[in-house]
Structure 1
Amino acid sequence: MARFAAALLYLLAAALGRLPWPWLMRLGDGVGALWRRLDARESRVARRNLELAYPDLLPAERAQWHREILRTTARQALETLRLWTHPHARNLRSIRETHGTALFDAAIAAGRGVIVAAPHHGNWELLNQWLAERTALAILYRPPESAIGEAFLNRVRATRGARVTQIRAEGPAVRQLFKRLGAGGVVGILPDQQPKAGDGEFAPFFGVQAFTMTLLGRLAHRTGATVLFAWCERVDTHADGPGFALHIEAAPADIAAADPKIAVAALNRAVEHIARRDPAQYQWTYKRYTLRPPGSAEKNPYAEG
C-alpha cells in the first residue's frame, strides 16, 4: 500500500515538475506569500530563527529577510520536485560553476574514506545527484514518520546502478558508516539536523547554543577519513531553470578532535560560515534550537502560548 501511494505521489510530483520554470517560480512565490499571510508554521519558525540568529537586524530588515527566505524556500521545494523527476544528467547541466572538486577527487584517491558534510544550504538534492555521478556513496538520513513518505524518498533518490545507499539515522547505522569509511568509501551527512537527546553536544550556532551531532566528529576521529563540506548554491535564474555553483571546501582540522565539544564547535562554525553566504538559501524554516542546555532554565523558543 505504501509503495502504491508513493507511486501516486511521484506522478503528482512529476506533473508539477513538468511545468515551465517561470510557472514554477510564480507558484513558489505564491506559496511563500501565502505562508506569510496565514502565518503558517514555516513563517513562524523562520521569523523566530531570524530573531535568534540575527538579533541586531532592524525590524524592516528582518521583515525583508523573512519574505525572501519564505519565497526561496517555496521555490526550492518545487525545484526539488523537478530534480527528483527529471533525468540526473539533465539536472546536472544546471551546475554552471564548480569550485574545489579537485579536493573531492584527491580525497577519494587517498583511500582513507571521505565524509561529505552537506548543510541545508542551496539545493542538497542536486548535490546528491552530482556526488552519485562521481562515486558510490551512502547517505545518512532521518526517515519520515510515514511509510509512504519513506517509500517516496527511496524512489526519488534512486540512481542507476544503485550508487546511492540510504542509511537510516538509527543505532545500527553507525556500524555501517564505520565499515564503509574503513573500506575507503564515501559517506554523506547533513550536519545541521538536531540529533536525539544523548547523541550530541551543545555549541554556538549564530551565537545561540544549539544541540549538535557528535557522530560526524567521532567518525572522522576514529577512521581518519577526510571531511569535506559541499553545497550547491543558486547563482542565477533563466527561463529553463536556476543555475548553481557547486562548492567543495576542506573542513577545519578541529572537526575531528577527540574532544566532542571542540569538534561540534568547529562543525557549527563551518556551517554558519556557509549559511552566511546567502541567508535566504539556508533552511531557516527548521526548528534548530528546540533542545536547550540542561540547567539553563531556557524554554523551547518555538513554544507558543
Structure 2
Amino acid sequence: MDKSKYAAPQFSLSLLHPKNWGVWLGFGSLAIIVNLLPYALLLKLGKSLGRLGMRYGKKRVSVAKRNLELAFPDMDEQEREVLVIENFENTGLALIETGITWFWPTWRFKQLLIEKDISAVRQHAKSGKGVLLCCVHALNLEITARAFAVLGVPGYGAFRPHNNPAYNFIQYWGRTHNGNKLIDRKDVKYMIKILRQGERLFYLPDHDYGRNKSEFVPFFAVEDACTTTGTSILAYTSHCAIVPGSGFRNDNGKYEIMAEQSIEADYPQKDMKAAAAYMNKYVEMIILRAPSQWMWLHKRFKTMEDESAEKGSRYN
C-alpha cells in the first residue's frame, strides 16, 4: 500500500528541548491523573473544569446558546440553559476523556464500552468493503475512535499535524498505538485509495467547513446550513459503504458504541445538494442521541448562503 503524504512523527532528543517541557509536563500530569483517580472522580473533575470554563469563555457560551436558538427555536429557554451547562460540563470532560483514550491500558478502557450494535461495520469488514464511518464532533470523539479499534474494527482518522513537535508526537502516538491509523486531512487521493482497498475511514460531515465544496441545505431548523459535499466525493469515487457511527456516554458513565446501519443504497451520490441534505438527517439522528455531548461551541451556521452577508452575522 502506498503511504500517505504525511509521515508519522518520530521521537528525537530535540523533542526534549526546554521549550517543550510544558507540553511534556501537561500530558504527563494528565496521564498520571487519569490513571490514579477512580473513574467516578474523573467524571466529577471533568464537569467541574467545564463549569469553570463557562466563567472564562463567555463568547463560547454565547455561541452555544445561539446555536441552540437556531437549531431548536421551539425549545423552552430554561431547557436551553440547562443544555448549555451540560454541554460545557462535557467540554471539560473532553480533556479527561482524551487522557483516558490515550493513556489507559486496554483492559481498563474496555470496561467503559457497551457494544450496542456495530453489525454494519463488522459485516463490511468481513466482505472486504471499504466503509466511510460518518461520525460527528462529539466531545468524546477520541473515546469513540479508540472504541472501534478495541472492538476489532480500527480505521483511519483525518489528521492535522500540530505546530508544536512534542505535542504532535504525543497526539499521534495517543491516537495510533491502539490500532487506528492517521491520514493527512488534505490527502483526499489516499482516502479514496484506502476505501477502495476495504479500509474504514472516520469522517465528520457535521461542521461548517466554509463555502468551498459545500451545499446549503437544512440542518435542524436552519434551512440553509453550509454542509460539506465531501461525503459524496469520497463515496462516489471509492464505491464504499456509508455507515453513521457514534459512541455517546450514557447516564451510567458507559460509552454506547453504535454503527448499525449502512445507508449507501439510498444515498443520492450524484446529486450533491440532495446528498448533503440526506446526510444531515443522519447527523441530526446521531446528535439527538445525546445532544449535550455534541460540540455546540462551534459556529455551525457561520457561512451564509447569501455571499453578500457577513460571515458569522447570525452570531452578532
TM-score, normalised to structure 2, is: 0.83
**Structure 1 stretch 17-26 or stretch 84-93: which is displaced more?**
17-26
Identity %: 27
Matched, 1:261 2:257: no
Count of paired positions: 295
Matches within 5 A, 1:24-63: 24-63=42-81
Of 192, 201, 207 in structure 2, the residue corresponding to residue 178 of structure 1 is 192
| 5+ long unaligned stretches in structure 2 | 1-12
**Structure 1 stretch 43-52 or stretch 248-257: which is displaced more?**
248-257
Distance between the aligned counterparts of 1:149 and 1:263, measured in 2?
37
Matched, 1:82 2:97: no
Contact 1:287 1:302 in 2 (8 A): no
For 2:280, give the aligned amino acid: N
**Structure 1 stretch 252-261 or stretch 268-277: which is displaced more?**
252-261
Say if 1:120 and 1:21 are closer, same or farther in 2 by CA, change over 3 A: same
Say if 1:101 and 1:73 are closer, same or farther in 2 by CA, change over 3 A: same
Matches within 5 A, 1:196-207: 196-207=210-221
Distance between the aligned counterparts of 1:12 and 1:302, measured in 2?
40
Structure 2 SS opposite 1:188:
strand
**Structure 1 stretch 252-261 or stretch 185-194: which is displaced more?**
252-261
What is the match of residue 244 of structure 1?
255
Matches within 5 A, 1:94-109: 94-96=112-114, 98-109=115-126
What is the match of residue 176 of structure 2?
158
Contact 1:140 1:190 in 2 (8 A): no
What is the match of residue 89 of structure 2?
71
Please give the per-residue CA displacement for 1:144-192, whole angstroms capped at 9, x wherever unaligned: 45545433321211225xx32211211xx11101111111122111222
Distance between the aligned counterparts of 1:66 and 1:276, measured in 2?
15
For 1:59, give the aligned amino acid: E
Please give the per-residue CA displacement for 1:219-241, whole angstroms capped at 9, x wherever unaligned: 1122221111111121233xxxx
For 1:84, give the aligned amino acid: W
Please give the per-residue CA displacement for 1:73-123, whole angstroms capped at 9, x wherever unaligned: 222332222222111332122113x23322111111222311111112362
Distance between the aligned counterparts of 1:154 and 1:108, measured in 2?
25
CA RMSD, aligned part only?
Answer: 2.4
TM-score, normalised to structure 1, is: 0.86
Say if 1:68 and 1:94 are closer, same or farther in 2 by CA, change over 3 A: same
**Structure 1 stretch 290-299 or stretch 203-212: which is displaced more?**
290-299
What is the match of residue 219 of structure 1?
234
